[in-house]
Amino acid sequence: MKTRLLFLCLFVSVLGHLRAQQRITLLFAGDAMQHLAQIEDARTPAGYDYDSCFVQVKEEIQSAGLAVVNLEVPLGGAPYSGYPQFCAPDAFAEALKESGFDLFLIANNHCLDRREKGLERTIRQLDSLSVFHTGTYCSARERQRLHPLLLRKNGIRLAFLNYTYGTNGIQVRPPYLVNYIHTETIVKDIEIAKKNGADVIIVCPHWGEEYRSLPNIAQKRLADTLVEAGAHLVIGAHPHVIQPIEARCDSLGRITSVIAYSLGNFISNMKTQTTMGSIIFKVDLVKNGTTDIRIENPRYALIFTRRPVHVPGGGFQVIPATRYLSEKDSVPSSLMIPLTRFVQDSRALFKQYNKGSVTEYSF
């Protein structure tokens, strides 16, 4: 009888602990870009089709509790264009949503490529897809209502803040607003997120120097300031190449914050060795009770944009890099050579410059 009672008490205790503990996995992808070659490749007699671009990473993206991508092109409507002033078909965002992305970051240096009309149309198109977005607004009232973006997932309250260093010299005109990187403003926004009850604060800055594999002094200083102000995750974009990841810990070895300076190009037609691939970054958040938040298992997977030049007759497609390396006998050398170099260079960079417990995974 005593044994049964002890077992029952233990069972109730474990059940109560499981109920009190909430957990979510966040996934972040880098710059989703659309150069002219990608637009032409997606063209069909019926319109534009991007579904095949993400078929090999779709399951991984959808497995996350919340997936985030940097949409670095406006949805300004036809005519569509690539660099230097981007404008992508709506089908591109639709395919990103169908692949599993829940939140689109839209404060970046290309958000005004189609001026304010393009900014507003991007917002309205994302609204029509019923996806979350943050970083640009059609009015001060809209920003006040939607910023910081607060989401509740699995009992964990998440605040997302997205800012850009600039907009390629194009000044935003009232009533439209773009979140620019001003340190004092971001610190105030972090305080607002705290007052609004955020358990975890995620800041996504569009910053740094293009094609540079190490963060500059300005990035490091801003990252330090954001973490000191209360940011738990700082996930960067813009350099178009991957940059190191830092997991910072307290005196007991528990992770208190993670900084991923740049995730690289999720998909693009950039052709240099370091711009062809990127990482998917994942992290687990665990909440015990009402106040205890833990950041666990920060990890990354290497991915690569396969292009028509790599596989005759093939289109643009995001592929899991390590899986393709393991299938080298069936992969043409035109793809295997740049893929191998990207993986080797990326691993060497992370081995030398990553800080804390950050691991590589594959899918």
Q: Tell me: the pLDDT tens digits for 278-301?
A: 999 999 999 998 778 999 999 999
List the structure tokens of 27: 């996934």
**Sign of the dihedral defined by the CA atoms of residues 214, 220, 222, 228, in that order:** positive
> C-alpha 326: how far from its chain's center?
26
Percent of the chain with pLDDT over 90: 91
What angle do helix axes 183-195 and 217-229 make, rounded to 10 degrees? 30
* DSSP notation for 146-200: HSSEEEEETTEEEEEEEEES--TTPPP-TT-EE-B--HHHHHHHHHHHHHTT-SE
- How far, in Å, CA of 24 to CA of 282, rounded? 10
- CB of 71 within 8 A of CB of 38? no
pLDDT in tens, 27-64: 999 999 999 999 999 999 999 999 999 999 999 999 99
Is 18 a residue whose pLDDT tops 90? no
Q: What confidence score (pLDDT) does residue 200 get?
A: 98
Closest CA to 120 of 178, 35, 184, 187: 178
Which residues have a Cβ under 8 Å from the Cβ of 363 and sit 6 or more positions away? Answer: 59, 60, 301, 320, 323
Query: Residue 10 pLDDT more than 80?
Result: no
The 10s digit of each residue's pLDDT in 122-171 is: 999 999 999 999 999 999 999 999 999 999 999 999 999 999 999 999 99
Q: Has this prediction a pTM greater than 0.95? A: no
